[in-house]
Amino acid sequence: DAKTTQPNSMESNEEEPVHLPCNHSTISGTDYIHWYRQLPSQGPEYVIHGLTSNVNNRMASLAIAEDRKSSTLILHRATLRDAAVYYCILRTQGGSEKLVFGKGTKLTVNP
Amino acid sequence: GAVVSQHPSWVICKSGTSVKIECRSLDFQATTMFWYRQFPKQSLMLMATSNEGSKATYEQGVEKDKFLINHASLTLSTLTVTSAHPEDSSFYICSATISGTGLFGYTFGSGTRLTVV
């Protein structure tokens, strides 16, 4: 699976929007962009995924660059419960089903 | 939604003993399960992939005789840490998916914290 690059950490204030970037310059046409997050002492949870178009769900929005070499996870109003490590992962359609985690971005939300 | 239950949530064992961790998919049949290990302040490291009814595929560097994985049914996979040592102390996490649908999300257990004393 292609590699992603994320900032090690980011900070936000409660009730403000958060934009978490992810670079994936070697993405291929069949790679889906997945985001997972891991709260302290818990297993990861699925956040959102997309291929080419921007995606919205109840948790977040995913904005995908036109060239697909980068994407941004958007939390519209951060809460203290959103403090977690966020992982951006590429999954290849038809490829290995393994989900390989990078280092992720640790998001701190200040009250 | 899909739920994966992992048990126990924490365990303390003596050095040299074996520990079994269970991972169950509660409301779906998981044809593929994954086992991860996570050390403090580090990311998840994939240990192995198991498909129901077949032998697990281990990642490079993971000792298959030490970390025994059994996926005997579509709803249960187990990881047994044999002859545990203090360096095996870690957070173990399982994940499950329906084969061929992984593009649409994986479900993770809540993890098992193993402490070997």
Candidate from A8-17, A93-102, B7-16, B35-44 with smallest mean pLDDT: A93-102
Residues of A in contact with B94 (CB under 8 A): 43
Tens digit of each residue's pLDDT (9 = 90 or more) over A85-108? 999 999 877 667 788 899 999 999
Give the C-alpha separation, A44 to B106, whole Å.
9
A to B CB pairs, distance under 8 Å? 56
Considering only CB atoms, A43 lies closest to which of B49, B99, B108, namely B108
Give the C-alpha separation, A69 to A58, whole Å.
25
Label residues A96-107 b or e (16+ Cβ within 10 Å = b). ebbbbbbebbbb
Write down the mean pLDDT value for chain B: 91
Q: How far is CA A37 from CA A41, A72, B8, B16, B25, in A?
A: 12, 14, 22, 34, 20
Write down the mean pLDDT value for chain A: 92
Identify the pLDDT of residue B117. 97
A1 pLDDT exceeds 70?
A: no
B110 pLDDT exceeds 70?
A: yes
| Strand order across the beta sheet in which A55-56 lies | A18-23, A70-75, A61-64, A55-56
Q: How far is A51 from chain B (nearest CA, A)?
A: 10
Q: What is the mean pLDDT of residues B3-13?
A: 95
Residue A49 to residue B104, Cβ atoms within 8 A: yes
Structure token digits, residue A11:
């900070």
B101 pLDDT exceeds 60?
A: no
Tens digit of each residue's pLDDT (9 = 90 or more) over B14-38? 999 999 999 999 888 888 899 999 9
Residue B49 to residue A41, Cβ atoms within 8 A: no
